[in-house]
A and B are shown apart, each in its own frame.
Chain A
Amino acid sequence: MRRQFFFFSEMGYNVYPEEEAQKYGYTSLMFPNSIFDREKARDLWQMFLREHEFASDVGFDGSVCNEHHNNVLSMQESVNISAAVVSQRIKGTIALIGNPLPIHDNPVRVAEEIAMLDLISNGRIICGFVRGTGVEQLSTNANPAYNRERFEEAYALIKKTWTTPGPFRWEGKHYHLRVVNPWQLPLQNPHPPIWAGGILSPETIRWAAKERIAYLVLGSALDATASCREIYHEVAKADGWTPGPEHLGYLIHTSVMDTDEQAYDMGKYHYGGTSAIGRDRGGGGGALTQGTGSGGATGTPHPEWASPPGYMSKQAKAGSMARERRMSEGTYDAAVKAGLIVTGSPKTVIQKFKHIIDRTDPGYLTFWAREGRKPHDATMRGIELLGKEVIPALREHKSALVTGKEVTPWPH
Chain B
Amino acid sequence: MAALIDTHKEEIVQAAGISTQVRRGGKGAPLLVIHGELGLPGWLKSFDIIAQDREVIAPSLPGYGASERPDWIMSVHDLAAWVSWFVRDNKIATPVDVVGFSMGGWIAAELATLNPAIFNRLVLVGPMGVKPREGEIFDYFLEGGMTGIRRNFLAPDSCEEFKRFWGRDLTQDETDAVEWHRETTCRIVWKPYMHSLTLPHFLLSIAVPTLIVQGEKDAVTPLDCGRMFRDVIPGAKLETIDDCGHMPEMETPARFAEIVRKFLG
CB contacts (< 8 Å) of A30 on chain B: these are 142
Q: Which of A390-407 contact B (CB under 8 A)?
A: none
Whether A141 contacts B143 by the Cβ 8 Å rule is no
Q: Say which residue of A302, A305, A310, A314 sits within 8 Å of B186 (CB atoms).
A: A310
Bound Cα distance from A303 to B144, whole angstroms: 8
Question: Taking the nearest CB of chain A, how far is it from the CB of B190, in angstroms?
Answer: 4
CB contacts (< 8 Å) of A145 on chain B: these are 183, 186-187, 190
Question: Taking the nearest CB of chain A, how far is it from the CB of B245, in angstroms?
Answer: 21
Question: Taking the nearest CB of chain B, how far is it from the CB of A309, in angstroms?
Answer: 4
Q: Say which residue of B144, B176, B187 sits within 8 Å of A304 (CB atoms).
A: B144
CB contacts (< 8 Å) of A302 on chain B: these are 142
Whether A146 contacts B141 by the Cβ 8 Å rule is no
Whether B142 contacts A138 by the Cβ 8 Å rule is yes
Interface of B is mostly: helix
Q: Looking across the interface, which residue of chain B has its beta carbon closest to that of A317?
A: B179
Whether B141 contacts A308 by the Cβ 8 Å rule is yes
Bound Cα distance from A144 to B179, whole angstroms: 13
CB contacts (< 8 Å) of A310 on chain B: these are 182-183, 186-187
- A side interface size, CB within 8 A: 15
Q: Looking across the interface, which residue of chain B has its beta carbon closest to that of A29?
A: B142
Whether B187 contacts A143 by the Cβ 8 Å rule is yes
Bound Cα distance from A146 to B179, whole angstroms: 15
CB contacts (< 8 Å) of A308 on chain B: these are 141, 186
CB contacts (< 8 Å) of B191 on chain A: these are 141, 143
Bound Cα distance from A304 to B186, whole angstroms: 14
Bound Cα distance from A410 to B104, whole angstroms: 60
Question: Taking the nearest CB of chain B, how far is it from the CB of A305, in angstroms?
Answer: 7
Interface of B toward A, CB cutoff 8 Å: 141-144, 147, 176, 179, 182-183, 185-187, 190-191
Having A143-B186, A310-B186, one finds 18 other A-B pairs with CB under 8 Å, namely A138-B141, A138-B142, A141-B190, A143-B187, A143-B191, A145-B183, A145-B186, A145-B190, A146-B187, A302-B142, A303-B144, A304-B142, A308-B141, A309-B141, A309-B182, A309-B186, A310-B183, A314-B176
Q: Across chains A and B, which 3 residue pairs bring their CB atoms closest together, nearest first?
A: A309-B186, A310-B183, A309-B182
